[in-house]
Amino acid sequence: MLRLIAKRIVETIPVLFIVATLTFFMMKLAPGGPFDAEKATTPEIKARLEAQYGLNLPVWRQYVNYLGGLAHGDLGPSFKYPDWTVRELLFDAFPVSLELGLYALAIAFTLGLLAGLVAAVRKNTFWDYFPMSLATLGICLPTFVTGPLLLLVFALMLHWFNASGWESGRDVVLPALTLGLYYTAYVARLTRAGMLEILNQDFIRTARAKGAGEWRQIWKHSLRGGLLPVVTFIGPAISGLVTGSLVVETIFQIPGLGRYFVMAGFNRDYTMVMGTVLFYAVLIIVMNLLVDIVQVWLNPKLRFE
């Protein structure tokens, strides 16, 4: 395990370097600048602002300065929020995005595992066709479609939940459902496929021949192996939850990282965009490492090497 963790840490350094480089030059190639939208800014004031933030330097010099700051853990100041650094904004908004992601993950795995298990045990019956049909429909509906529909029905028409904000339980339900239902469909189908494969193995037939009950076959003998496809999916699911939260937080006006990232893109807030991308990259790398460790724990045939 220590070798695996050390290897991943070493591999992370060039990956983050490539991510930082690509993000930096992509932002520089985008038209406009961080101070172009300020209507009251005169050319003289704009020139002074660019000189203050080092934007008047050659691109290669800005790149070197930015990498030097990254080496010391400095993500730079935000151009849109001049009184805040990018690191302060990230640490202030991340708990909100983390909370939203955990709620969505809980919904996805609770509903998805339950639907997948029932569909696998009751194969080729109504309890198989119905949840799998809903799962297929859920895969076809992205979050930017599900979110406005839930908002229209449950917030604007029925008034059961709030349409925006992040202060009470009524604010949490719709964004968490919007983000979680999409991945519920994937978890349900993966659980069904994994359980069906395990339930057809010889050792399950042996347990059945010895008189083991249906649920004992599932919980004691099948579940650990049947969930391997779901565990493998956790890494991409975390990535999808991260990118999906960008849309959801914008739709429901949630003060998380996603909303800051979208606004930074519109405002050409270079440092905020690059800092958010790097933060997400580190988060995804850590989650993939945890997924690999859990896979080895579930499947003893695998080795950390």
Which residue is associated with the tokens 């958010």? 276
For the segment 236-251, the average pLDDT, to the nearest whole number, is 75
Residue in 266, 221, 262 with CA at minimum distance from that of residue 37: 266
**Strands of the chain, DSSP E:** none
Q: What is the pLDDT of residues 179-215, one digit of tens each?
A: 888 888 888 888 888 877 777 776 666 766 666 666 6
The pTM score is 0.74
For the chain, give every domain's residue range: 1-305
Q: Are 265 and 34 in contact (CB under 8 A)?
A: no
pLDDT of the residue at 36: 67
Q: What is the pLDDT of residues 215-228, one digit of tens each?
A: 666 666 566 666 77
Sign of the CA dihedral running 247, 253, 258, 263? positive
R_g (Cα) of the chain, nearest Å: 24
Q: How many Cβ atoms from other residues are within 10 Å of residue 272's Cβ?
A: 28
Residue in 189, 199, 213, 219 with CA at minimum distance from that of residue 113: 189
Q: Is the pLDDT of residue 295 over 80?
A: no
Q: What is the pLDDT of residues 143-152, one digit of tens each?
A: 788 888 888 8
DSSP state of 77: B
Report which secondary-structure segment, H or E, holds 168: none
Q: What CATH code would you report for 1-305?
A: 1.10.3720.10
Q: How many residues does the chain have?
A: 305
